[in-house]
Structure 1
């Protein structure tokens, strides 16, 4: 989980470029992204078997979204699609996670909370 949270320090706003470009420049293997009124859907290479690497990439997408919300984006849910599965953090949970970040929760506690509230579905 520490790997997920180390990314917090290096992320800046999505507004500086496209989401896909921002992710790829940070080593997150995103191939496409679609932002709707309620949801950010990201297509990414990887698999559930990747363990820590997958968590690091998922966390990277989340923190990029959180930084964008801090810069004025509306709060939306997050769905990261990988071959065979989807990782979903509902809009309400994204809102709660951002609130927890603003309260100054430790990185470990925040990462644990995000993972506990992420739904994993197999496609």
Structure 2
């Protein structure tokens, strides 16, 4: 049920954008779902200044978030630094030790196959995380 609610919220977010950002986010969302159908959708960080929240895709933890700004759509991969990116899709947040992001501006395209490989790599990174010890 939570997935259906999150999916409906993401649908509403995409529809509310009504421009290239909505179309871009919708395309990326479809690619994420194609890459791994077991990924679940969520909406996080809902607050008065951002009532629609942030679309989030998860499997064994956060895979990536999809934020929209006036001039770009940003997909931030929670463990992006641990994911191989041979196609060089990551173009933002490159300085950190954990996250990596892809910024897409109006007119930008994305290599669908490379993006799906990146998503699968992020899933693998989450599934490989060591179990927490209780000491």
TM-score bracket, normalised by the shorter chain, equals under 0.3
Higher share in helix: 1
TM-score, normalisation: structure 2: 0.26
Tell which has more relative contact order, 1 or 2 (C-alpha 8 A, sep 6+).
1
Larger Rg, first or second structure (1 or 2): 2
